[in-house]
Amino acid sequence: MTLNSKVTVFFVAISFGLIAMLVAISLFAFRSFSIASSTEHIRTAAEIVRVHLTEAMIDGVIDKRESFLKRLMEVQGLTSARVVRSPDVRKQFGDGILGESDTDAIETQVVREGKPQYRIIETDGDTLIRGTIPFIATSLGSPNCLQCHQVAEGTVLGAVTMMVSIGSIKQQALLTVAGLVGTVAVFALLTLGLIRRSIRPISATALNVETAVQQALRGDFKGKVEQFTKDEIGQIAGDMNRLLRFLDEGLSCITESVSRLTDRPPFPGENQLNATIDMVDGLTRAAHFKQAIEEDETKAEIYQRLIRAMEQEYNIREYSLYEVAPNRSQMAPLFVDGTFSGECRWCDPQILGRSDACRAKRTGHRVDGVINPGVCYAFQPPPEKSDRRHICLPILQSGSVGCVLQLLATPTEADRLASLIPFVNVYLREASPVLEAKNLMETLRESSLRDPMTGLNNRRFLEEYLETLLANVQRNRSQLAILMLDLDYFKMVNDTYGHDAGDAVIKGLAKVLRQSVRASDLVIRFGGEEFLIVLLDTTAEAAEPVAEKIRVAVEAMEVHVAGHVLRKTISIGISGFPEASDTFWQAVKFADVALYRAKDEGRNRVLRFDPKMWGDNVQY
């Protein structure tokens, strides 16, 4: 119900209530007035009858009283008049004329008590007021009742009963009330019309405001409230229009900015406010995500946090996350449907060995299998899930694809997945520079742990890896064989042929060393022409054949430099851990002692550490 209708109903209800009260009060007032007027009329007529009867007795014409009463009926409204005698008067003068001695109950009571009685009598078509008035004997005034009646002062001599019709008064009252009601009704209608006219702008403005608010709740702030007046209501309409314009412009600006950040264009008919709230909420969560991954230590932690966001925030359960190898030709699955380092499930496994088979990796663009099913030939889901749709999103790092996130959905969920892509892209965009920074840090760290000339690990790597290495030895109760190696007369190469020749010899030696040991063994350039080899799960005794193999391979090595063929020999010292010492670095020192004993004994040989080499005065 509108405000105008409410005010109309309220005013009509009040008007009807007032009219009803007015009618009731008027009728009651007219009735009371009629009764009071008729009662007074009866008392006056009764007093006239009493005076006439008393004078008639004094004048001796009492027998003419009947004609008097008949003439009295000519008084307007008086319908009947009857006189009755009291027992005292009948005793003195007899019963009188016919009927004066026949009293009804009311008259008997009035004669007995001396008090007047009044009754309202309803008859067919008329309303009568009956009044029975007692005649009291008194010597006061003129005529003196006691001149004729032999009774005491205050004795009831009789009563007169009269009936007065108030029908005409009642009819007049009804006409008066009807006129009054009509007048009030006309006034109420005029007042109602004036009120409706005055309130119409308020009602219309309220309706327009309600319509504009409903539009705003649906994200449309382009509604307008018509300004009907120039008073406070008109001011409200104008202020509402200014507020709507401000909100529309502000929301449009925010939506445009957020849309640029998320690459999500507004869709026709969508709730712009809700869409903007969702986008801002997504950006906020992405900002928190970026803050968290910036404090993560490794790329693995970042990948785990990204996958957790896909699962928890977007309820994506089927997906793959691939990482492109540094050589750019291979890919490795990091997460597949919640499983870390799972097998390639949704794509042709050939992408793992030939990354360019992945369309997203090759092009660096989004591959949308929802809009264009079959766009990527490498997408090969299991037969039981052949209806899946996929969207593959590349994660760019340093201008090339570093990772590929593949999201999957059933046909019924495909539209929802497509609507989530702008928000997922925000996460990927935030993760990309952090992953790139982590890659750079790992590269820098890797470079700091490797010898740039030979590609072998350096002494710093050994220092950082040693704690893990020794923990494995202790846990597995295994042994390590430590080989210290040094080229014989290497300084002569630099002095004779230059440092380029020396570098070539070092590189050739590094290649021989890598080829002579297992992939699990550690080959470390310890410094200059000195190298350290750690053979895992090997005793010092078992390491001697390996060392001899290396010595022979180095002796047979040829390095071609500027038309010359260089051949070099190598000396090797061996010790064991914890066979020779309880501390690793002490075992290294023992291997170094054995190395220099080999050099002292003529070079190009292998010697295993013997405690006698240390000297009687050295504590170990």
Same domain, 543 and 599: yes
Q: Is the pLDDT of residue 368 over 90?
A: yes
Q: Give me the count of residues in the chain.
A: 620
Report the alpha-carbon distance of residue 219 to residue 203 in Å, rounded: 24
Burial code of 52-90, b = ≥16 C-beta within 10 A, e = fewer?
A: bbbebbeeeebeebeebbeebeeeebbeebbbbbbebbe
Lowest pLDDT segment from 128-132, 219-223, 599-603 = 219-223
Residue 210 lies in a domain: no
Contact 525, 485 (CB under 8 A): no
- Tell me, yes or no, whether 406 lies in a domain: yes
Mean pLDDT of 237-260: 80
The pLDDT confidence band at residue 617, using thresholds 50, 70 and 90, is very low
- Which residues touch 601 (CB under 8 Å, ≥6 apart)? 607
* Better-scored residue on pLDDT, 147 or 399: 399
- pLDDT of 25: 87
475 and 439 in a common domain:
no
Supply the CATH number for residue 59's domain: 3.30.450
Residue 540 has what pLDDT? 93
Weakest mean pLDDT among 23-37, 295-309, 391-405: 23-37
For position 583, what pLDDT does the model report?
92
| pLDDT score of 446 | 66
| Least confident interval from 135-144, 288-297, 530-539, 610-619 | 610-619
Per the domain annotation, does 506 fall within a domain? yes
Q: Could you tell me the two tokens for 476?
A: 């597995």
Q: Mean pLDDT over residues 503-519, rounded?
A: 91
Q: Is 380 helix (H, G, I), strand (E, B) or coil?
A: coil
Q: Are residues 418 and 563 in the same domain?
A: no
| Higher-confidence position of 186 and 341 | 186
d(CA 120, CA 77): 14
Contacts of 243 (CB under 8 A, 6+ apart): none
Helix (H) or strand (E) holding 515: helix 499-516
For 16, 230, 251, the CA distances from 23, given in Å and listed in that order, are 10, 42, 61
Last residue of a domain, one of 398, 419, 444: 444
Res 148 pLDDT > 80? no
Is the same domain home to 314 and 422? yes
Q: Which amino acid is present at 431? A: A
> Is residue 68 located within the same domain as residue 167?
yes
One domain, residues 427 and 461: no
Whether residue 599 lies inside any domain: the answer is yes
What is the mean predicted confidence (pLDDT) over 408-415? 92
pLDDT number for residue 504: 92
Backbone φ, ψ for residue 280 (5° rounding): -65, -40
**What is d(CA 553, CA 467) in angstroms, rounded to the nearest whole number?**
32
Residues 426 and 473 in one domain: no
Those residues whose C-beta lies under 8 Å from the C-beta of residue 368, and which sit 6 or more positions away, are 375, 391, 418
Burial degree of 347 (CB within 10 A; 0-12, 13-18, 19+): buried
- Residue 144 domain flag: yes
**Residues in CB range of 139: below 8 A, 6 or more apart:** 145, 146, 153
Rounded Cα distance between 288 and 305, Å, is 11
pLDDT of residue 620: 38
- Average pLDDT across the chain, whole number: 84
Tell me the backbone φ, ψ of residue 563, rounded to 5 degrees: 85, 0
Of 171, 194, 214, which marks where a domain is finished? 171
Q: Strand 339-340 vs strand 367-368: parallel, antiparallel, or unpaired?
A: unpaired
CB-CB contact of 197 with 204 (8 Å)? no
Helices (H), 263-388: 272-294, 299-314, 350-353, 359-363
Residue for token pair 């002569």: 492
Which is more confident, 241 or 3? 241
Asked if 389 and 476 sit in the same domain, the reply is: no
Buried b (16+ CB within 10 A) or exposed e, 374-397: eebebbbbeeeeeebbbbbbbbbb
Q: Is residue 277 part of a domain?
A: no
pLDDT over 90 (residue 451): no
pLDDT in tens, 33-56: 878 887 887 788 777 777 777 776
- pTM higher than 0.75: no
CATH number, domain containing residue 332: 3.30.450.40
Residue 487 belongs to what domain range? 457-614
Instruction: Return the pLDDT at 570.
Output: 94
Asked whether residue 475 falls in the same domain as residue 431, the answer is no
pLDDT of residue 258: 73
pLDDT tens sequence across 548-557: 999 999 999 9
What are the residue ranges of helices labelled H in 116-159? none
| 464-508 residue pLDDT tens | 888 888 988 888 889 999 999 999 999 888 888 888 888 999 999
Tokens for 537? 């799960």
Sign of CA dihedral 228, 231, 233, 236: positive
- Give the contacts of 64 (CB within 8 A, at least 6 positions apart): 56
- Same domain (yes/no): 610, 463: yes
CATH number for position 589:
3.30.70.270
Asked if residue 473 and residue 439 are part of one domain, the reply reads no
Report the alpha-carbon distance of residue 448 to residue 444 in Å, rounded.
6
CA atoms of 323 and 394, how far apart (whole Å): 10
Asked if residue 240 belongs to a domain, the reply is no
Check residue 61 and give its pLDDT.
Answer: 65
Q: pLDDT tens digits, residue range 195-232?
A: 877 777 777 777 888 888 887 777 777 778 887 777 88
Q: How far apart are CA 41 and CA 30, in angstroms?
A: 16
Question: Of the candidates 371, 366, 407, 415, which has an alpha carbon nearest to the alpha carbon of residue 390?
Answer: 407
Compute φ and ψ for 317, nearest 5 degrees. -110, -20
As for how many domains the chain has, the answer is 3
Confidence of residue 618 (pLDDT cuts 50, 70, 90): very low
The answer on pLDDT for 76 being more than 80 is no
Distance CA 396, CA 522 (A): 34
Task: Classify residue 88: in a domain, yes or no.
Answer: yes
400 and 437 fall within a common domain: yes
State which of 444, 475, 496 marks the end of a domain. 444
- Mean of the pLDDT values across residues 309-317? 90
Task: Tell whether the torsion through CA atoms of 454, 455, 459 and 460 is positive or negative.
Answer: positive
Instruction: Of 31-40, 108-117, 439-448, give the range with the top mean pLDDT.
Output: 108-117
